Amino acid sequence: MKLLTALLASIVLVSSVNAQKSTKKKATATSTVKAKNTSSKSKSTNTKKKDTAKKKNSSANSTVNRVQPATPSKNLKDNSATEAVKTSLPVIVKSKEINLKNDSLLAIGDTVINIKAVAAKQRAINENRSSFRRTLDAALESFMPFQFKYAILLNETVEKITNVILYKTIDDWYGTRYRYGGTTEKGIDCSAFMQVLASYSFGWLLPRTAREQYAATSKIPKNELQEGDFVFFNTTGGISHVGMYLHNDKFIHSSSSEGVSIGDLNSKYWSARFLGARRLNSGNTPAGNSVIDFKMPNIQ
């Protein structure tokens, strides 16, 4: 009986061991299958990424292939192309697009250029520029600084500022303060300053006061004013102020507010007080008889 019991126990033990081994095998098989599935999914993902990359590369390549290459420049040897040359030639052409070795005609896109004509035109322009520059340099050397100064103040070309003595005299006195009855560089009034300009710039002898200078000159139309003519104004009653006309409705005078300066006939103040334009009589006395000893301008 004991032997039978032990045998049954052994059978139960073996069955239990076999059941455990079977369970372990099933678990191992399951994990193996899961690992294979994971690997398969990973490979599938990589394959999809590669396919996507290939599609992108293929799309980029097709885009590049669709771009048309630029038409290269080429020389034309056909004589019929001469008729296609435009009459209005460009002055400047990029040097990399020109080949002067073979022919004088060059095609750039749809444009045909006569290179020799372009080069000749450019040479002519350069020569004209050089000639103009030489002329300008020579002209600039012949003018003095104060001529440029008054050309700017009068809004005039420097070529018209030709009376060197007149403008040098003006420049020597420019900015001198006004003083009623004054005749020196410490202060000068309007009529005395006209005596200075008339004496040393034109060789004229003028009377002392504005009223007397008005009487010694002849009336002219305002639109006939020239450099050296006189302009008279009523500032304090009657003929009380005088200036000398220069250019472009500008005149030089000794103003009570600004001293020796340039005025404008078109300004509101002076246009409202303008009395008339006058010119010195041709038979006036030479300046050598002037009773006032003015300082001569130093021309340098």
Catalytic member of 168, 247, 250, 253: 253
The per-residue pLDDT for range 13-54, each reduced to its tens digit, is 555 555 565 555 555 555 554 555 555 555 555 555 556 655
Burial class (CB in 10 A: 0-12, 13-18, 19+), 161: buried
Catalytic member of 168, 241, 250, 278: 241
172 CB neighbour count, 10 Å cutoff: 19
If we measure between CA atoms, which residue out of 247, 164, 245, 232 comes closest to residue 200? 164
Q: Which residues contact 95 (CB under 8 A, 6 or more apart)?
A: none
Catalytic member of 118, 161, 166, 190: 190
The whole-model pTM stands at 0.53
Output phi, psi for 238, to 5 deg. Answer: 75, -155
Q: Which domains can be identified in the chain, with CATH numbers?
A: 74-140 (no CATH), 164-289 (3.90.1720.10)
Distance between CA 200 and CA 177 in Å, rounded?
20
Distance between CA 240 and CA 143 in Å, rounded?
36
Q: Is 247 a catalytic residue?
A: no
Strand order in the sheet with 274-280: 217-220, 274-280, 230-233, 241-245, 250-255, 259-264
Distance between CA 182 and CA 189 in Å, rounded?
6
In three-state secondary structure terms, 247 is coil
The per-residue pLDDT for range 225-269, each reduced to its tens digit, is 999 999 999 999 999 999 999 999 999 999 999 999 999 999 999
Q: Is 241 a catalytic residue?
A: yes
The two structure tokens encoding residue 213? 């200078």
Q: Is 253 a catalytic residue?
A: yes
**Residue ranges in the chain modelled with pLDDT below 70:** 1-115, 132-141, 282-300
HEC-encoded secondary structure of 185-202: CCEECHHHHHHHHHHHHH
N- to C-terminal Cα distance for the chain? 156
